[in-house]
Amino acid sequence: MQELHLVICSGLEALTLQFDPRKLTRRQVILIIVYIAEAVIGYGIWDIYSSSPPVENIQPNTAPVKYSSKPSVNIGCDRIVWKDTEVRLSASTNLRSPRFQWIMDNKTLGTERELAYTFSQGKNTVLLKAESGNDSVQDNMDILVVSSTEGISAEVVGGSMINERVFMTKWNDAEYSIDGVSVILDGKDMGFIPQCRKLTVSGLYPGTHTWKAVYRGGDIGGGSFNLEAVTSVRMTRIDIARSYRAGDTVEGRILLQNKGTVPVKQFSIKTLVVNHKFEWMGDVARKEFTNNFDYELVPGNSVEIPVRVAIPEKISGVKPVGDYSITIQLIINNKVEETQTVKTVVV
């Protein structure tokens, strides 16, 4: 994979003007203004070239859980479990050094952060109280214990990407977390639908896909769906800081993800850099370039393109300061797939 390697420089060649200060011509005055402005701009020629080995596919990072300052506790969603199954529950809280009390039918089931318990058949309502100092919070959930698959079903819906399908469980036509439901897609075991979540499968190719959901050895849903051939790659993230200082070495990145159903083997990135402080000078304050990449990006996968920016301390004796906009276009098959603009400033 090529690397987007950016180097800021002036591109200003030396110029010697011989003149009598008392006898400046109009042409000499214009030349002086233009070349002084060029030196001050220092917006740079951002040059792209190939130098690094292929970048491995990466998966989007999962953002860390952030708690608000308000005390809280959570024990998950309502669930359906099979009879005689031990259920493991865990409390998530932002309280410091909390004390716990698990309660059902006015009876204490446990006092630790985690609870392992086998519930009786039918509906069981569990209450958790968490305390720390003067703070006290609570949460509850229903655990429905069943001995048959009556009312239990599964279905598949579209995901956030064209190459994605989402599998979920239901009880009496309402979404419900059901422990132990597995999914088989195109004859391949995709694993269990996670507790309190859905099972998302991405990276699907065009064509007809068959699926079924299995619970306790029996089918609770199944069918087929068809995906068309669609090319869709998106810039999911552009990391460029809001400001830099002259002399900095900047490390940035562009993250691309294939959200379509067909592999993309070649693509281009077209970049336009503008220094808005001197935009009135036209092309002098603009630089546009295109870099081509030869890399196979399959459906569902992501690739990171490193961006390295060297900012000189001075250009022709002047700091390359100013407000910049960087407009990036992703081009596939001579068609602009997406355009994004980021802004930064050199101080």
pLDDT confidence of residue 26: 54
Domain assignment of residue 340, yes or no: yes
Angle among Cα 34, 39, 40 to the nearest 5 degrees reads 95
In the chain (347 residues long), the average pLDDT of successive 10-residue segments reads 44 35 50 47 38 38 51 95 95 95 96 97 97 95 95 95 96 93 97 95 96 96 96 92 82 91 93 78 76 91 83 69 87 93 88
How far apart (Å, rounded) are the C-alpha atoms in residues 326 and 341?
6
pLDDT confidence of residue 316: 62
Domain assignment of residue 155, yes or no: no
How far apart (Å, rounded) are the C-alpha atoms in residues 77 and 193?
14
Domain assignment of residue 42, yes or no: yes
Domain assignment of residue 172, yes or no: no
Where among 129, 146, 163 does a domain terminate?
Answer: 146
Q: Indicate the number of domains in the chain.
A: 2
The model's pTM: 0.70
249 strand-pairing partners: 310
Same domain, yes or no, for 249 and 321?
A: yes
The boundaries of the domain holding residue 239 are 4-11+22-58+232-346
pLDDT confidence of residue 320: 67
CA dihedral 197, 199, 202, 205 (to 10 degrees): -150
Domain assignment of residue 65, yes or no: no
pLDDT confidence of residue 19: 40
- What is each CA distance from 198 to 166, 183, 216, in whole angstroms? 7, 11, 18
Domain assignment of residue 317, yes or no: yes
Same domain, yes or no, for 49 and 125?
A: no
The helix/strand/coil state of 276 is helix
Same domain, yes or no, for 238 and 138?
A: no
pLDDT confidence of residue 9: 36
Residue at 141: amino acid letter:
M
Same domain, yes or no, for 131 and 34?
A: no
Residue 340: CB atoms within 10 Å: 14
Domain assignment of residue 68, yes or no: no
Domain assignment of residue 179, yes or no: no
Where among 124, 146, 168 does a domain terminate?
Answer: 146
- What is each CA distance from 92 to 71, 76, 124, 298, in whole angstroms? 11, 9, 20, 37
Same domain, yes or no, for 236 and 315?
A: yes
pLDDT confidence of residue 251: 78
pLDDT confidence of residue 288: 84
pLDDT confidence of residue 318: 65
Same domain, yes or no, for 342 and 272?
A: yes
What CATH number does the domain containing 238 carry?
2.60.40.10
pLDDT confidence of residue 2: 53
pLDDT confidence of residue 246: 79
Same domain, yes or no, for 31 and 123?
A: no
pLDDT confidence of residue 10: 35
Same domain, yes or no, for 48 and 102?
A: no
Same domain, yes or no, for 88 and 129?
A: yes
Where among 98, 123, 146 does a domain terminate?
Answer: 146
